[in-house]
Amino acid sequence: MNTPLELIDAYLDDVCTPEEFSELVLWLKESPEHVSEFAERSYLHREISEALVHSAMSALSGVRDEWEVLQPESSSPVSNFMSLVEALKDPSPNKTRLNDITYMLDAEQELIRHLADRNKPVAKIERDGPLVVVIPKAMIYLAAAAVIALLVTAVVHFLPEKQAAPAPVVAQVEPQPVKNPAILIGQDAAVWADGQPLLASTEFVEGQSLDLRSGVVELSFDRGAVVTLEGPCQVQILNDNSIRLRSGRIVALAGGTAQYFSVHTPSAEIVDFGTQFGVQVAPDRGTKVAVFDGLVSLQSSREKQTDSLDIDRPLMISEGKMASVDREGTVSETTSTLTESDRVTFARSLEEYRSPEFQYQRAVMTSAPLAYWRFESDDASRVQNEVSPGTNDLVGEGLVGIDEEGAFGKAASFKAAVAPYSHFITEGKLAFSPNTYEYTIECLFNSDFEQYAALVSMFEEGHAISSRVFGGYASLGMTDSRLAAPENIAGWRALSLRGMHREQVGLRSARADVFENEQYPIGQWQHVALVKSQGKLSLYVNGSLVGSMESTSTAIIPSLRAVIGISGSWDDEAGLYANLPFTGKIDEVAIYNRALKPDEIALRQEIWSLQTTEELR
């Protein structure tokens, strides 16, 4: 619930939602005191602006603390100027208007000199054809400049009548000619082609080309657009509201005064309608456009170059959609839904690029998983697979709970329960390559000793389960459908995480436990990956190989199911799973139909370390 002052500030900052606005209006209508409070707060906004603008301008001009009241005493340039304005307001029929204007222009020149002599950044008056008055925008807020603002406004207003010029005279604050339309506002590990680093606030001129080899930089354009470039990337600054992307990828955040920001690529032109969107130019010069927010239009460069009289109809791409143009300029007929892979292709800001969560997702998606569950939904009964969202295939479904505090965002939570055990099972079949039998399962897990102890006590309190269940193997299990027959029950588990009471992580095979003494800290997130490749199962914990063993499962199999969180073996005799389930949290589960390389696994650990380091800060 917002306080009235919070509502007023939100309104004046232009971030008020329609609901908040309605709330504000109701509050204002309650009493005149509320309206006075509103006026008072508005006035405070103006005063802060005034004081800060003054301080900024003083610092820029180097003449801080040297202000002057312009005085219309007799024979001063200011008074001459003012009296002319007054005279022109109600010109006497006996006077010649042309002479008045000439005189006024002389007086204006004198005023300029007067201001220049005193080194006052009060107003600048330029003439090019029709009279154009340029006032530093900030001066509008300054009471001391109000007189000048009024005078020059008035002069400009009256001049057209006297000149009878067809073109209207500019009667507003005019922007300076744009020479440096973009500025560097942020960077991370940026390496440029010439090897020279660029300082923050470096300004770029119109037409300047930039060749970013690696890292990320953010540019702010004069019209307000913020563009994030990720290396390798080649762009050219076209003007204060457009950029040419020659290769690589960028994300533009436009809107407001930056609406209609445009990106030109070798095969297309993309125009913003108030949004955030990413553009990628592939090595083959094709263009891909992903819209994260709002709406953009996509136009083939080829179509624009033709002399066809057909109505130009760009493809409109809305939020959450993407489209592409091939190197020949052929635009995809329809838009498609953005996938997680598309999303992590683009770093939407420097902040996002620096985020370990984004980097981790990007690492996973770059490795092309068959399935990837992030557990970000509130609905524990239906967990979205990020690889193919919205489809039934490969969508996880089970009795897993969701915990707000995951490794990244939320996580699957496995709490003490006798039956049914919390678990997570993939609904569909995971298709593996028919020619090889390789796979990788990876995840982040965090064991919960208290939950484990609670689980053990449940059994100790006499539930109808045989004592054999105290094997203590909490399990992140992968079930091989080929081995699901009862006689092969011992071979079910591809991976087991040992129960808490032994503080071990282990890989359990058909006949033996290995890595018995690998220690891992309780209550902390760990990265674990199990890789099956070339007849060998290898276990990586926190990026390091902790052991491997022969695996005889070499037969070609068409599919695989994954069961996560439940202990592996089903005991027909007892009618129960023979080991205790995992207790704690599991996050970012990914399954691949190939063996991840050691450096891919090391990268995940590196990113994960970054996350834990940030948490400690």
Residues 89-148 that bind another protein (CB under 8 A): 89-90, 137-138, 140-144, 146-147
Strands 321-325 and 336-337: antiparallel
Site size for another protein (CB under 8 A):
83
In the complex, the smallest distance separating the C-beta of residue 509 from another protein, rounded to whole angstroms, is 47
Which of 151, 607, 585, 554 is closest to 380 using CA atoms? 585
User: Is the distance from CB of 613 to CB of 606 less than 8 angstroms?
Assistant: no
CB nearer to another protein: pick between 34 and 327 = 34
- Shortest distance, CB of residue 38 to another protein, whole angstroms? 7
Give the 3-state secondary structure of residue 242.
strand
Q: Contact region for another protein (CB under 8 A) — 238-246, 252-260, 531-539, 579-587?
A: 252-260
The site string for another protein over 320-359 (x = CB under 8 A, - otherwise) reads -----------------------------x-x--------
Choices 171-179, 309-317, 586-594, 605-613 (CB under 8 A): range interacting with another protein:
171-179
Nearest Cα neighbor of 455 from 475, 438, 439, 440 is 475
Tokens of 324: 């592409």
Say how far apart CA 55 and CA 65 lie, in whole Å.
9
- For 88-208, list the strands marked E by DSSP: 124-127, 131-134, 182-192, 203-204
Position 170 contacts another protein (CB under 8 A): no
Asked if 157 touches another protein (CB under 8 A), the answer is yes
Q: Which of residues 4-23 bind another protein (CB under 8 A)?
A: 5-6, 9-16, 18, 21
Q: What DSSP assignment string belongs to 379-420?
A: -TTSBPBTTSTTSSTT-EEES-EEES--SSS-EEEE---SSS
To another protein, the closest distance from the beta carbon of 323 in angstroms equals 25
Which region holds residue 492: left if phi is over 0, alpha if psi is between -120 and 50, else beta? alpha
> Alpha helix locations (H) across 429-552?
449-460
* x-or-dash string of contact with another protein, 41-80, rule CB under 8 A: xxxxxxxxxxxxxxxx-x-----xxxxxxxxxx-------
Q: x/- site string to another protein, residues 278 to 317, per CB under 8 A?
A: ----------------------------------------
Question: What is the token pair recorded at 112?
Answer: 């300029």
Which parts of 468-497 interact with another protein (CB under 8 A)?
none
Stretch touching another protein by CB under 8 A, among 24-32, 365-373, 467-475, 543-551:
24-32
Residue nearer to another protein on the CB measure, 260 or 570: 260
User: Least CB distance from residue 137 to another protein, whole Å?
Assistant: 7
CA distance 364 to 591: 10
Residue (of 252, 245, 287) closest to 272 by Cα position: 252
Residues 355-384 that bind another protein (CB under 8 A): none
User: Is residue 154 part of the contact set for another protein (CB under 8 A)?
Assistant: yes
Residue 253 binds another protein, judged by CB under 8 A = yes
